[in-house]
């Protein structure tokens, strides 16, 4: 790819790739328009109408996919990344000191994004046959350059004798740790609640909790399927909203009347300390700060009721020592039908900020005690702890 030199002696990615991506984005956008139409009844026979409706809904799903692909391509095309060379003195220092540690360094360069964050792209290999931890090498490079880097999720975990490409990201301002506790409904073989924790190389932490309809193995399969779909879409580059919209469309087209899992999707930007909480049909969540507990809720329906789901995230700024608590319906309902959310809010407010796993266990234990020792529905508690990265 041809590079264009800039005034600050950096290197900007050529417009050639951008033009190609924009052309592809336009093509997918035009394809999406071909499927954007209202459903028209062309027959009076019920079976024919149902078949035509199913075909129309499948086309709408395909159109949604094309639209999202077009959006992703445009986003990538306009992402400005500057390749900034290290100074000769800095590069020599890095190569010399890392060689003394038995590590060969080649072609180090900073990737400077529009928000000002600087990542380090570098090729590494050991000078001997034995490999070593890539995280340990990242720490060494951080010391040499006087910057705090962390190993990206896409990079190899081991530096070996063969040369490999590594991407070191700037250490986020915050770190997030998670803890979960759950109880299975009495006389059921497994929980219908499932959860996932996803970390990206760009300092994003996503925590997802899904409560399947009902309980038992069927509910478990439903919530597992939803999590699997969401993970795949998010890893493919879909926005959180786009991923939720796609999963909703899939469930709607499947026309399973009893398959409407709830979703809590907690998206945290660890660089900025910003929370986006997406809720579809889920029980109330809670944000615990130093002096108060805030209930976070909305009235959106679970997935799959309508072809298009309308939801907006609950956005908050996070501070050091904050806790985000996610609960399935079984936990909230264990405190009774009247003022149950307020009771849970008071319980959380009276707790000291221990580690997330211990806090989740204590909340779950309190919920079981409040229900008289019975587990009448699956119970899952997830706690996300946030700390400033000193």
pLDDT, position 307 = 66
| Cβ partners under 8 Å of residue 103, min gap 6 | 124, 125, 126, 127, 132, 137, 140, 159
Query: Up-side HSE of residue 336: CA atoms within 13 Å toward CB?
Result: 7
Question: Which helix (H) or strand (E) is 210 found in, with range?
Answer: strand 204-211
> pLDDT category, 95, cuts 50, 70, 90?
very high
pLDDT, position 55 = 76
> pLDDT category, 203, cuts 50, 70, 90?
confident
pLDDT, position 81 = 65
Structure tokens at 171: 């250490």
Taking phi first (over 0 means left), then psi (-120 to 50 degrees means alpha), and beta for anything else, what does residue 69 get?
alpha
pLDDT at 44 over 70: yes
Q: Which of 150-154, 162-166, 209-213, 263-267 has the lowest mean pLDDT?
A: 150-154
pLDDT, position 201 = 64
- Average pLDDT for the chain: 85
Report domain extents, the chain.
Answer: 3-77, 81-170, 174-388
pLDDT, position 257 = 60
Can you tell me the distance from the alpha carbon of 359 to that of 350, in angstroms, rounded to the nearest whole number?
A: 11
Share of the chain above pLDDT 70, in %: 92
pLDDT at 274 over 80: yes
Can you tell me the distance from the alpha carbon of 214 to that of 171, in angstroms, rounded to the nearest whole number?
A: 42
pLDDT at 27 over 90: no
Q: 181 vs 45, which has greater pLDDT?
A: 181
pLDDT, position 6 = 41
pLDDT, position 7 = 39
pLDDT, position 15 = 66
pLDDT at 111 over 80: yes
pTM of this structure: 0.79
Can you tell me the distance from the alpha carbon of 369 to that of 132, in angstroms, rounded to the nearest whole number?
A: 49
Q: What is the CATH code for 174-388?
A: 3.60.40.10
């Amino acid at each position: 790819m041809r590079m264009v030199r800039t005034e600050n002696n950096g290197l900007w990615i050529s417009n050639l790739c951008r033009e190609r991506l924009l052309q592809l984005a336009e093509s997918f956008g035009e394809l999406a328009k071909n499927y954007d139409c209202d459903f028209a009844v062309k027959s009076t026979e019920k079976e024919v109408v149902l078949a035509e409706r199913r075909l129309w809904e499948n086309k709408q799903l395909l159109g949604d996919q094309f639209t999202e692909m077009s959006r992703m391509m445009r986003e990538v095309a306009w992402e400005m990344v500057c390749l900034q060379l290290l100074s000769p003195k800095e590069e020599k220092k890095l190569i010399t000191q890392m060689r003394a540690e038995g590590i060969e360094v080649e072609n180090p360069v900073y990737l400077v994004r529009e928000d000002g964050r600087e990542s380090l792209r570098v090729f590494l290999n050991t000078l001997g046959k034995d490999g070593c931890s890539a995280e340990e090498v990242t720490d060494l490079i951080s010391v040499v350059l006087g910057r705090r880097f962390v190993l990206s999720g896409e990079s190899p975990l081991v530096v070996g004798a063969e040369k490999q490409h590594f991407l070191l990201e700037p250490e986020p301002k915050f770190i997030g740790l998670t803890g979960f506790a759950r109880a299975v409904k009495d006389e059921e073989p497994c929980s219908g609640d499932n959860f996932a924790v996803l970390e990206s190389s760009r300092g994003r932490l996503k925590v997802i909790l899904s409560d399947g309809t009902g309980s038992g193995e069927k509910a478990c399969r439903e919530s597992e399927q939803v999590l699997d779909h969401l993970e795949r879409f998010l890893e493919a580059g879909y926005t959180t909203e786009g991923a939720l919209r796609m999963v909703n469309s899939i469930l709607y087209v499947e026309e399973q009347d009893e398959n409407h899992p709830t979703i809590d999707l907690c998206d945290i930007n660890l660089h900025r300390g910003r929370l986006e909480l997406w809720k579809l049909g889920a029980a109330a969540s809670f944000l615990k700060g130093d002096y108060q507990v805030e209930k976070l809720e909305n009235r959106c329906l679970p997935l799959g009721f309508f072809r298009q789901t309308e939801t907006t995230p609950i956005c908050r700024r996070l501070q050091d020592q904050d806790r985000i608590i996610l609960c399935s319906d079984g936990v909230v309902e264990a405190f009774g039908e009247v003022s149950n959310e307020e009771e849970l809010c008071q319980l959380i407010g009276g707790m000291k900020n221990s580690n997330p796993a211990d806090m989740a266990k204590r909340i779950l234990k309190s919920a079981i005690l409040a229900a008289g020792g019975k587990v009448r529905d699956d119970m899952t508690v997830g706690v996300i702890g946030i700390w400033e990265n000193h």
